[in-house]
Amino acid sequence: MTRLRSSVRLAIVALTLGVPSVGCFNSEKLVERVRNNAIRTRIDEVKLGQYRVTLPRNPQTGEMAEVDVKVYGETLRYKINEIEDELKSRAPEIEDRTLQVLRETSREELADPNLVTLRERLLTSMNEVLTGAPLKSIGFYQVRFVRH
């Protein structure tokens, strides 16, 4: 019984000594740190343009196809202004590279419902041009394929 009481006493003393240290934090600084982290890691969209290209003829059928896409990129929200400035200043290069990637699109890539390979190629191409703030991913507001 004496052992139990001394163990309980030790636990009470330990808790009593530990309680003041639990309350020693600045909740405002903690909230500010969490808010700043959320702002810095928030992902947002930036418009990259609308593109329309005619693909080379299908060698088996002779059929032609058009690809019409409206592209956006995802990046950290606080980098949006930097990317938009770079998009304006490098618009001709971005347009040229995007059209080149789209023209090289294979029929197999177009058959993928998620267009994974096309997205990856566009992302790589865009990030080679956008040196200041790279994109995290590429998406499409609109995708249209027209066969002629």
Q: Is the overall model pTM greater than 0.85, yes or no?
A: no
In a domain, 32, yes or no: no
In a domain, 1, yes or no: no
In a domain, 59, yes or no: yes
Q: Give how many domains the chain has, as a whole number.
A: 1
pLDDT digits (tens, 9 = 90+) for 5-64: 555 565 555 555 554 445 566 778 877 877 777 766 788 999 999 999 998 888 888 888
Count CB neighbours of 133 within 10 A.
19
In a domain, 22, yes or no: no
pLDDT digits (tens, 9 = 90+) for 77-119: 888 888 899 999 999 999 999 999 999 988 889 889 999 999 9
The CATH number given to whatever domain includes residue 122 is 3.30.479
In a domain, 116, yes or no: yes
Contacts of residue 34, defined as CB under 8 A and 6 or more positions apart, other chains included, come to none
For residue 85, the enclosing domain spans 43-147
In a domain, 11, yes or no: no
